Chain A
Amino acid sequence: MLEFFTGIISGTVSGTGMGGGTILILILSVFMGIDQHIAQATNLIFFVPTSITAIITTIKEKLINWKIGIPVAISGIIGAIFGAKISVNMDVNYLKKYFGIFLILITIYEIYSLVRQYIFDKKRHNKRKR
């Protein structure tokens, strides 16, 4: 049942574009004590059906930029092969630590973008001035 609620929370957040997948993994691993690798694999399963639905909708709305999307997708497969190979062979404690470090970097970026948005709202016309 807890898994079900985890899905609801992550799904709700996913709509905001703020890392629903990250939240899913964190709830499963940090709060429910599920192995980090399994938590990560769960997010991969979670992503497929929801993203296919989203892609169909956005194709209809002509929102996908193919010129950029296709090369990024293809090179992404190459990157994913390396990343996944390293991940599945990595000790779970190290994987958790690296994930934590990655989260801190994401947090710094999120704070930066929040502050930037705040400044942008305040001084819209002075945007280019430094």
Chain B
Amino acid sequence: MSETNTQVRDAAGVDLANPNLTRFDIVREGARRDGVEIVHYEPQYPAGSKGERRMTRIVAFFFLFTGIMSTLFVVAFIWWPWEYELGPHASKYYTPVLGLTLGLALVGVGLGILTWGKKLLPHEIAIQERHDGPSSPEEQKLTGTTLQFIGEEMGLTRRPLLKFSLLGLLPLGAAAVAVPVGMLIKDPHHPDVLFKTGFAGATPTNPIRLMHDDGTLVRPEEVSTGGQITVFPNIPGGASNHYADSPTLLIHLREDDAAKLNGQLYTINQGSTWSSFVAYSKICTHAGCPASLYEQQTNRLLCPCHQSQFLITDNARPIFGPATRSLPMLPISVDKEGYLVATGDYKVPVGPAFWEKD
């Protein structure tokens, strides 16, 4: 190392016209002019040595391996059956075969390049000076004064009118903001948006029937005691995502549970149950997931997203987890033809809470 070191030092200011200079001398001189000192430069293996030949063979092997794997990849990509078939079929292995061949091809080229770089190229230690820290005070002054001069030339301090006229440009900025905001903005207080669901049109005299997601209507006898189903408003698209706030859980409580619930109904929920049936909004009041995991034994509803738990025998009051609000209750009844109906919309907005939601 020390020998190379002195050579480098001596090379300072070499005469590039000197015909005796080796190529490496010129390289080192170039590096020196870039503030880089090559203090150690040594092949890992002597030229033509057994070790060098071995490393060359390894690199060649990796590249050959990549060639084979890439060929296999192309062959598989074109000829392996790829179209989906039900059941066990070679097409199920299409993606794994592609991944394996492509991955191994890339492993080969990666290891080949790394071996080439790490084993066949000379090992070196180079030192480059850092030039951080501030610019020289002189430079700072020159640039600073130039900037100040530009500022003064603009003449805002000398010409007050110019300053005030700049204020006149503010509406242009307002215009730039107004357009995108105006294009995007939607009033959340439009009644349909956050405050009403698909049951909005229902009244005791003109109720909306409940339906399954396939559009068939719901009769009380379909739900066994202790059972629950998901129901939707029987309106066009009532079960679609267009009415994402309307999915409702219809629960057939056991007799004693129904008595317990009816005994402690909130004022707002008075008269909303029918017989031992109760309907709650399925949309969690915490973050809007469907709170649909029903524990029959404990009469709890669990939201799988953040584990809020609601007690259905007590107005679906939250009893664990981050939710703070009860699930709204849908007023239900049965019409003359024996179908379950909603006799009104939810009395409080369903879904997650927000600033204006009391």
Indicate whether A and B interact: no
Residues of B within 8 A of A (CB): none
